[in-house]
Amino acid sequence: MSNNDEAIEVLDEYELEKGLVHVIIYKEPESGLYVYRVIEPPITDKLSNAITRVREYLLNSKFLIDNTELTNNKVRETVRSITEKLKLNLTDEEFETLMYYVTRDSVGYGKINPLLWDGLIEDIHINGPGKPVYVWHSKYENLRTNIVLNEGELDSLIIKVSQRAGKNISSAQPILEGLLPEGVRVEVALKEVAPNGPILTIRKFRSVPFTIVDLVSDGVVSAEIIAFLWFLLEHGVSMIIIGPTGAGKTTLLNALLFMIRPESRVVTVEDTREINIPHEQWVSLVTRESSTPEVANVGMYDLVKLSMRIRPDYLVIGELRGEEAYVFFQAMASGHVGLTTIHAGSIDAAVRRLISKPMSVPRALLPIASIFIEVGRVKLGNAIVRRVLNVVELLEVRGDKPITNPIYVWDRASQRFVKVGESKVIAGLISMGRVTEEEVARELERRRRLIEAMAQYGFRSPEAVFRVTRNYYVNPEGTYRKVLGGELP
What is the block-wise mean pLDDT of the chain (489 residues), using blocks of 10 residues? 62 89 91 92 91 83 51 75 87 90 88 93 95 92 95 95 90 89 90 93 85 96 98 97 92 97 96 89 88 79 92 96 94 94 96 95 95 94 88 94 97 94 97 96 98 96 96 97 95
Q: d(Cα 437, Cα 363) in Å, to the nearest integer?
A: 31
pLDDT at 141: 85
Q: d(Cα 291, Cα 307) in Å, to the nearest integer?
A: 24
Report whether the peptide linkage leading into residue 358 is cis, meaning its omega lies within 30 degrees of zero.
yes
pLDDT at 71: 55
Please report, to the nearest 10 degrees, the dihedral formed by the alpha carbons of residues 328, 332, 338, 343 taken in order.
50
Give Rg (Cα) of the chain. 26
Backbone angles phi, psi at 359, to 5 degrees: -75, -50
Residues contacting residue 75 through CB under 8 Å, at least 6 positions apart:
65, 99, 102, 103, 106, 107
Contact 476, 468 (CB under 8 A): no
Contact 387, 219 (CB under 8 A): yes
pTM recorded for the entire structure: 0.80
Query: What is the 8-class DSSP label of residue 372?
Result: E
pLDDT at 61: 67
Query: What is the 8-class DSSP label of residue 87?
Result: T
- How far, in Å, are 106, 137, 253, 308, 429 from residue 331 at the CA level? 48, 37, 19, 7, 20
